[in-house]
Amino acid sequence: MSLASSPINQTARAASTHLIQRVLHLDMLLLTLLALLAGIGVVVLYSAFGGEIEPVKGHIIRVGLGLVIMTVFAQIPPARLAPWAPVLFGIILVFLIAVLVMGQFGGGARRWLDLGIVQFQPSEIMKLALPLMMAWFLARTPIPPTFRITAAGLLLIAIPVGLIGLQPDLGTALVVGAAGASVLFLAGLRWRYLLLLFGLIAAIAPVFWVFGMQAYQRARVLTFLDPNRDPLGAGYNIIQSQIAIGSGGLFGKGWLNGTQAHLDFIPERHTDFVFSVFAEEFGFLGVIALMTLYLAIICRGLWIAYQAQDNFSRLLAGGITMTFLVYCFVNMGMVSGVLPVVGLPLPLISYGGSSIVTLMAGFGILMAIHSHRRMWST
């Protein structure tokens, strides 16, 4: 306290805050929260890997790379970004088709596109390209959008979601769909359209159940509804994950002491089920802390959206934050048995790099929206 209040220190702090917020265009609060989260991720992954340091190092490098990408994106003023939205969307769409066509020749599911020098997943970039496109598209006309604009927006969502679903990569298709739908919702998709949409889905679902699904796919859905139906197979993961979470209790079994994790009972414990490891070792209190952290990031993101100065920025910031929200809650929902297992990582904690880049780029855009505000107009 005494140190912090000394004049020299105050000046130093003011200078560093200035550097981060005005020069690097980063949002101090968001940066702190993300860093905390990444720190927790490193700690949990170390345990999930059974005390191995090598893979954890790889994770740290990827997070670092993510920070760099975030900083790069934070430099781009939203007004500069907007015109590129349809271009980016079009290019990624072409890539998605290319992946599908090449997958046809390669025989089987393919998500990666090989451009000689770099390999990447177009579907991953679509998680950002679609909300960008939607925000640009919906901000051009008055809000809330008319029926025709809404219908066009739905089409814009359906095309990439359909292409990704065909790969087939249902988890990503879900996130991309949610990202696009979020923007549409923020732009004020009227309630009656929303009701109509739900009604339509409710009407189609039973038909799809009978005609559109294979017997084993139906079995998987039934297994989600009742994991004990198949305790040796698909239900096994979810049962063991719930045992892990439940046995954590209030205080948890302690770091590196999770028996479920270390005796191999938790499936995919570095990736999709990493939350189970965390909950087992850090208990209910840890879970509350982690959720508070996620919630704080989400609220900060939404606050940025709230304060944004034009429709494009508002919609984009809101859409990006809502995508993050879907990520977090779908993952936690699936490992705790509230939602079916769809294969989504827990942001910034799960091991694996493909999603971290788009995620951090998204946060970069958020920060840009916040730091490039024209101060005189608020």
Partner 1 sequence: MKLDFLRNFAEERRWVQGRIILVICLALVVAAVLVGRMATLQLVEYDRYSARSQDNRIRLAPIDPPRGIITDRRGQVLAENRPAFNLIIVPEQVNDIDNLLQQLGGIVELTPKDLERFHQARANSRSFQEVTLKFDLTDIEVARLANDRHRFPGVEVQPHLTRHYPFGASASHVIGYVSRINEEELRDSDRTRYRNASIVGKTGIEKAYEDRLHGRLGIAQIETNATGRPLQVLHQDLPQSGEDIQLTLDMELQQAAEAALENWRGAIIALEPQTGAVLALASQPVFNPNQMVSGLDQATFQALANAPGQPLFNRAVSGRYPPGSVTKPFLGLAGLATENMGINETLNCTGTYNLPNVSRTWRDWRPGGHGRIGFTQSVAQSCDIYFYELAHRMGIDLMHEWMTQFGFGQATGVDLPSERPGIMPSTEWKQSRLGEVWFPGETLNVGIGQGFMLSTPVQLAAAASMMANRGRPIQPHLLLSDDAAPPTPQLEPLTLEDERLWQLAIDSMVETVHGRLGTARAIGADLPYEIAGKTGTSQVIGLGPDEEYDEDAIAEQFRDHAVFIAFAPADDPRIAVAVLVENGGSGSSTAAPMAASVIDTWLTHLEETNELSLQPN
Least separation, in Å, of the C-beta of 275 and partner 1? 10
Two structure tokens written together for 366: 């958020």
First-to-last alpha carbon distance for the chain, in angstroms, is 33
Least separation, in Å, of the C-beta of 284 and partner 1? 4
Alpha carbon distance 180, 162 (integer Å): 13
Q: What is the 3-state secondary structure (H, E, C) of 62-112?
A: HHHHHHHHHHHHHCCCHHHHCCHHHHHHHHHHHHHHHHHHHHHHHCCCCCC
CB 93 within 8 A of CB 133: no
Point out which residues bind partner 1 (CB under 8 A): 140, 142-144, 182, 185-188, 214-216, 219, 222-223, 229-234, 236, 242-250, 259-260, 263-265, 279, 283-284, 287-288, 291, 294-295, 298-299, 302, 305-306, 311, 314-315, 318, 321-322, 325, 329, 332-333, 336-338
Place of tokens 């690097």: 24
**How many CA within 13 A on the CB side of residue 372?**
19
Least separation, in Å, of the C-beta of 324 and partner 1? 10
Two structure tokens written together for 292: 């508070």
Choice between 71 and 247, CB closer to partner 1: 247
Least separation, in Å, of the C-beta of 80 and partner 1? 18
| β-bridge partners, 119 | 114
Task: Tell me if residue 79 falls in helix, strand or coil.
Answer: helix
Choice between 81 and 315, CB closer to partner 1: 315
Choice between 64 and 168, CB closer to partner 1: 168
Least separation, in Å, of the C-beta of 248 and partner 1? 6
Computed from CA positions of residues 241, 243, 244, 250, in that sequence, does the dihedral angle turn out positive or negative? positive
Task: Tell me if residue 292 falls in helix, strand or coil.
Answer: helix
Least separation, in Å, of the C-beta of 340 and partner 1? 14
Choice between 87 and 295, CB closer to partner 1: 295
Question: How many residues are given for the chain?
Answer: 378
Choice between 2 and 378, CB closer to partner 1: 378
Reported in sequence order, the residue ranges of 186-308 that DSSP labels E, i.e. its strands, are: none
Alpha carbon distance 40, 135 (integer Å): 33
Choice between 320 and 361, CB closer to partner 1: 320
Q: What is the dihedral of CA 304, 307, 308, 314, to 10 degrees?
A: 70
Choice between 8 and 250, CB closer to partner 1: 250
Choice between 314 and 372, CB closer to partner 1: 314
Amino acid identity of residue 65, one-letter, is L
Least separation, in Å, of the C-beta of 325 and partner 1? 6
Least separation, in Å, of the C-beta of 352 and partner 1? 23
